[in-house]
Structure formats: C-alpha cells, structure tokens
Structure 1
C-alpha cells in the first residue's frame, strides 16, 4: 500500500515540439560541422583534369585524419587543396541555390572552390620529364603511370604545350608538386614551371604549400554506378626519399 505521507514526485515537463525540433536541428548541424572540420568532407570534381579516374561533377569524399599530428601527403595521393593563387581561373563554379549554399557551409553538400590533383613530388624531390619512354622520373626512378593516367599523345609533359623537357631540381620546403591524371588538360604544377615563359613568370607558382591541403581523397561516392574506394598506386612505393 502506498505511503500516504510520501511526497509526490514532481511531474516532468515536456518541451514544446517546436523547441525539441530546434534543439535536434542545432545538434545535427553542430555534429555536421565537427565532422566536416575534423574528419570527412565532400567535394565535387570541377574539371576534366583527373580523367579517367575522376570526371566532371563526380562527388568525392576527402578524409583529414591521415594528415593529423604532423602527417603530410605522400607521393601518389590524390588530394584536395585550396587555390594557391590563380589556379582556378577559367573554372566556372557549380550553380547553387541559397539552400545548397547553406548545406555546403555546414558540410551536408559537396563543395567547390578547390582543386583536385595527384601528388608527384614532396619537399626536396627532383622531378624530370621525360625519359625515352615518356615517363616522369622522381629521384631517379621512372614512374609507370599507365594504369591511372589518361593516355598521352606524346609524353607525360605539361599542359598546354607539347614540351616534354623540364626538370624540377628540388621541390621547395613545405610544398608539393602536383599533376592531374589527364596531363594534356590539367593546368597543374608542370604548366607553371615557366618553360619557355616570359620574364614575368614566377617558377615558385608551380608549387602548392602543404598547409593549403584540405585532405586525401579516399572515395568516389557519386554516381553510384562508379562508386569505389580510391587509394595510392603502388608505383610510388619504389621512389626513394630525397637526399
């Protein structure tokens, strides 16, 4: 029998439905922002420079964990990075409604305004283009890239000219040398080396500061028919570190 003298438990007050909804949305947005900032972010491919593996408007996921605690990109990684200055010229941004812009900001929609390229050289690396078979060499090792680059008509040289004769004696400290897999349609590091360029060309524009790298591409998620994980080709394993 209940104790008549026992105090009654206070009745729990339920939050109004609208307030619960606002709280849940706020928590979801905060979680999305944390995931985008620290772990994974979605992007879309803005150009044809990474064919055949990645084509225009593909949706990709970039993970940031590999570059935590002093970690940095490896040769062969496909990376997303911020524009070092003038690299995005001529690339039209994907049209976006106000809703899409908000979703992009909080990490719930793939974003643009960045570039996607493959890391070819690390700080201190010597890069030579090309050998008798049209292959790029890094620290004296020729790279057989046929499995992932688009077939080239002459060599793996810079876009847009046909020249295949250039050398990077040493990639600067804290920088990367990057190239697209579609070499003839990629305005990448090799296109900014000032080969046969005028007096106003700055060869330092060919390199990407490591601190501009957002993360490493690890998955193609859209379209679903081509969805796959993206790794680093084994061909880069045999490249020695720079002296």
Structure 2
C-alpha cells in the first residue's frame, strides 16, 4: 500500500464548527429554555394564583377605568374565605348573564389565554367585573324614600358611585338565594348587571362557584397604581 492509499486521521475527522458558532448556539438554547420556563410559570400563576384582568368597559367607573389592568386574587375564596358585600369580583357569567360561552377555536383560545396571562386580553368574553351588593339570604331592594338601595332593611352608603348616578333607575325587590350573589357596577347608568337579568333563571344572581377571584389592585397604568379596598356600605 502506497502513501497515497493511506487514510489520514485528520481527513476522516469531521470539521468542528467554529468556537463562536458553538457559543452562539448554546446561548440561543439557554434563552429558549428561559423564555419557555417564564411563559409556563406565568401561565400557571395566572391560572391558579393571581391573574391580570383587562377592564373592557366603563361599568365600574370611576373605581375602574376602561383599559385598566387589575390583579385578581384567585385564592381569596379558596381556603375558607367568603365573598362579602362590597367586594369587587371577576366572575364567569355563563348561565347567569349569558346563555353559553362562545367557542373561539383552538388558535383563538390559545391566543386569548396567553393574552389574559399578561393582562392584554380578557380570558373569556363571558368574564365580568362587578361589585357584590348582596350575598345568599339577603333581601336587596330599590329603593327607599331617599332613593337608596336597601340590604336587609338597611340603606347602603355608596361613596363609590359614579358622580351624578343614582343608586338605581330600575326598581327591584329580591331575596338572594343561598350560594348566589347580587352584583352591580359602580357606574349604574352604564352597567348591565343583576338588574338586567331579573327575568332570567336565578333572577339576575350569580352562583358563587362562578367567581374567579377578588380584584385586589390596579397594576396599570402606573399613575393609577394602588390597592382596592372592599366597601361594605
């Protein structure tokens, strides 16, 4: 065998990628892992603990403005905590405020879930934000001789009402069933709330098991940042 027939070890060995390429590839993989981990952690937190919620309408003005991003505490009622009058809640209106949830499709559902996780979209078109006025067993009526809403015969002091609004321009008198809630927006003249569905099953009340969580604070815009307190009238 001649020298020309011999196989050189250097000739058989595959060329190694440049050192710079390996470093860049490793860096890309690291950032992909970090990004995916961040997305998964954000979505898990949003699903089970705290969720940003985009305020889509003026029904809670002037407490909440259109475009506010609020933080919803999903654990507020999970471990023995009870919904109280005055709490601002986010709930699923399916079966009380709307007949059934619309199906956005697989892609639409994924995009909506991702947007909701960072407060850029509603998690569902059937999610609502309102203030709790009556809980199970309460008699809620409108109105007394001074135009105030009464709960169990006691008039409500409602400093959160939108300036110029009356407590209600709809007359009602309802006993809230156990396990359900009577909810209203702070901007009474611009809120489709329990009063709107008096003739529906449940008489406009919302099942407690449809409550997603309690609104705790305004996170965005920064000039409106602040904690929200429940006002129990």
With structure 1 as the length reference, what TM-score do the two structures score?
0.73
> Does the 8 Å contact 1:88/1:115 carry over to 2?
no
Verify: 1:103 aligned to 2:114, yes or no. Answer: yes
Aligned to 2:229: 231
Query: How far apart in 2 are the matches of 1:98 and 1:70?
Result: 31
Note if 1:166 corresponds to 2:178.
Answer: no
Residue 4 of structure 2 is matched in structure 1 by none
Could you say which residue in structure 2 is the equivalent of 1:137? Answer: 150
Residue 180 of structure 1: how far off its partner (Å): 0.3
> 1:172: Cα distance to partner?
1.4
Deviations 1:103-133 (A, max 9, x none): 325x123331221100011111111111111
Deviation at 1:71, TM superposition (A): 2.4
Pair 1:88–1:61, CA change in 2 (3 A): farther
The count of residues paired between Structure 1 and Structure 2 equals 199
Cα offset, 1:231, TM superposition: 0.8
Question: In the alignment, which residue of structure 1 is the partner of 2:181?
Answer: 176
The aligned counterpart of 1:208 is 206
Q: 1:68 and 1:111 mapped to 2: Cα distance?
A: 24
Q: 1:71 aligns with which of 81, 103, 107?
A: 81
In the TM superposition, what whole-angstrom CA distance separates every residue of 1:3-55 from its partner, at most 9, and x where no partner exists? xxxxxxxxxxx993333223222221221122112211011111111111112
Provide the residue aligned with 2:162 in structure 1. Answer: 150
Contact 2:69–2:119 (8 Å) recurs in 1: no
Q: What corresponds to 1:60 in structure 2? A: 70
Seen in structure 2, the aligned counterparts of structure 1 residues 86 and 54 have a Cα distance that, compared at 3 Å, is same
Secondary structure of 2:35's aligned partner: helix
CA distance in structure 1 between the partners assigned to 2:98 and 2:196 by the alignment: 13
Number of the residue aligned with 1:191: 196
Show the counterpart of 1:239.
none
The offset of 1:68, in angstroms, is 1.5
C-alpha contact 2:43 2:114 (8 A) present in aligned 1: no
Judging changes above 3 Å, is the alpha-carbon distance between structure 1 residues 184 and 21 closer, same or farther for their aligned structure 2 residues? same
Greater Cα shift, 23-32 or 211-220:
23-32
Aligned equivalents of 2:182, 2:97: Cα separation in 1: 14
Distance 1:43 1:108 in 2: 8
Question: Is the contact made by 2:86 and 2:133 (CA closer than 8 Å) also made in structure 1?
Answer: yes
CA contact (8 A) 1:84 1:209 kept: no
SS state of the match for residue 202, structure 2?
helix
SS of alignment partner, residue 76 of structure 2 = helix
Q: Highest Rg: 1 or 2?
A: 2
- Cα 1:116–1:62 shift into 2, 3 Å: same
1:37 matched to 2:47? The reply is yes
Q: 1:26 to 1:73 in 2, by over 3 A?
A: same
In the alignment, is the contact (CA less than 8 A) between 2:96 and 2:202 conserved in 1?
A: no
